[in-house]
Amino acid sequence: MHTTVVLALGLLAIFVALALAILTATDTLTRRHQVSRSLAAVRAIDSGPSAARRELNTPFSERVLGPGMARLTRLGRGLSAADQVGRLRHRLELAGNPPRWDVDRIIAFKVLGLGLGFVVGLAVPMLLRVGVLPTVGMTIALATVGYLGPNIALYQAAYNRREQMRRDLPDSLDLLTISVEAGLAFDAALAQVARNTTGPLAEEFFRVLQEMQIGLGRSEAMRALGERSDLAELRSFVTAMVQADAFGIPIAQVLRIQARELRVKRSQRAEELAQRVPVKILFPLIFCILPSLFVVILGPAAIQLYKSFGHGL
C-alpha cells in the first residue's frame, strides 16, 4: 500500500513538472513572438510617413470627433425638414455668426441632444423604478429638450445681440450725426463710429465698410445690413439712408431726424418697461413675499393666542 502511494505521488510530480515545462516554453515562445511583432511595428512606423504614422499624428478631434460629427450631421439632415438649413443659416446671421458655430455643427448637436435625452429619459426612471407612463413622459420631454436645445441657445444669442444693438444704436447715431455735421463724409463718419464704439453694432458697421471697399455700392451694403438684422430701429435707419442716397437728400438732416426719433423711442421703451414692472412683480408678491410676511407678523400673535386659549381650556 505504501509503495503504491509513493508511485502515485511520483507519477503526479512528473506530470506536474512536464506541465510546468510545457507552459514555460509556450509562454516564452509567445513573449518572443509578441516582442518580434512590436519591433516590426516600431520599424514600420519609423521607416517613413506611413498611414499608421500619419494616423497617430492626426489630432484626436480629427480622427474621432470629426467623423462622428459628420455622421450625426448626415443623420440630422435626413431627419430635418427641407428648409431647416436655410432657417438655421438665417438665425446664425441674426446671432452674428458666433465662432465655431455653423449649420452642420448645430444639426449634429441637435441629433446628439436627442440621443442623450432619450437615453437619460429611459435610464433615470428605470433607476428610480417608476411606472411606464412617467418613463414615457420623461423620455419624450428630455428628448424634445435635447433636440431643441441648440435652437434655444441660438435664439438666446440672437436675442442678446439684438438687445445690445438696440441699446447702442441711439448713441452711435448721435456720434454719426456729429461726425457728418463736422464735415466728414458718410463713409469716414461710419468708420469713425466703428472705431470708437464696441459691440455687435460696431461689427456690423465694420462689415458695411468692408463690403463697400470690395466694390459693393453704399445702398446695397446698407440693404444687406438691414437684412442681417431683425431690429426694427436699425431697418428704419437703413431705409432712411437708402432713400436719402437715392433722392439726394442731405445725409446730415436725415441722421439728425433719425437720432431724434431713436431717442424718443428709447424713452418710450423705458416707460413701457417701467409700466410692466407691477404686473411682473404681482405673482412673486402674492406667492413668495406675502406668505413670508404673514408668517413673520401673524406667527407670534397666533402662538400667543394658542397659549392663552390653551391655558384657558
- Give the pLDDT confidence of 117-131 residue by residue, as tens digits: 888 888 887 787 777
Amino acid type, 176 = L
By C-alpha distance, which of 78, 81, 131 is closest to 108?
78
Residue for grid cell 428610480: 128
Cell of 70: 459628420
Task: Provide Rg for the chain, Cα atoms.
Answer: 37
Distance from C-alpha of 297 to C-alpha of 240, rounded to nearest angstrom: 60
Contact 249/264 with Cβ under 8 angstroms?
Answer: no
Mean pLDDT for 39-64 is 53
Mean pLDDT of 15-22: 50
Q: Which domains does the chain have, with CATH numbers?
A: 67-73+81-162 (no CATH), 168-272 (1.20.81)
Using CA atoms, how far apart are residues 304 and 306, in angstroms rounded to an integer? 5
Percent of the chain with pLDDT over 90: 4
pLDDT at 281 over 80: yes
* 66-71 own/partner pairs: CB under 8 Å, 24+ apart: 69/104, 69/105, 69/108, 70/104, 70/108
Q: What gap in Å lies between CA 22 and CA 75, rounded to an integer?
A: 55
Angle formed at CA 126 by CA 122 and CA 127, multiple of 5 degrees: 120
Mean pLDDT of 173-195: 88
Can you tell me whether residue 49 is helix, strand or coil?
A: coil
Alpha helices in 47-102 (DSSP H): 51-57, 60, 66-79, 84-94
Among 106-120, 172-186, 230-244, name the one with the lowest average pLDDT.
106-120
Q: Within 13 Å of residue 207, how many CA atoms lie on the same side as its CB?
A: 19
What are phi and psi for residue 310, nearest 5 degrees? -65, -40
Whether 282 has a pLDDT exceeding 70, the answer reads yes
- CA 78 to centroid of chain Cα atoms: 22
User: CA 220 → CA 4, 14, 258, distances in Å?
Assistant: 110, 98, 20
Task: Give the pLDDT of residue 160.
Answer: 92
Please tell me the predicted confidence (pLDDT) of residue 1: 44
- Summarize pLDDT for 119-171 with one digit per residue, the tens: 888 888 778 777 778 888 888 888 888 888 888 999 999 999 999 999 888 88
Look at residue 67 and tell me whether its pLDDT is greater than 70.
no
The band of 15, judged by pLDDT with boundaries at 50, 70 and 90, is very low
The model's pTM: 0.67
**Distance between CA atoms of 218 and 212, rounded to whole angstroms?**
6
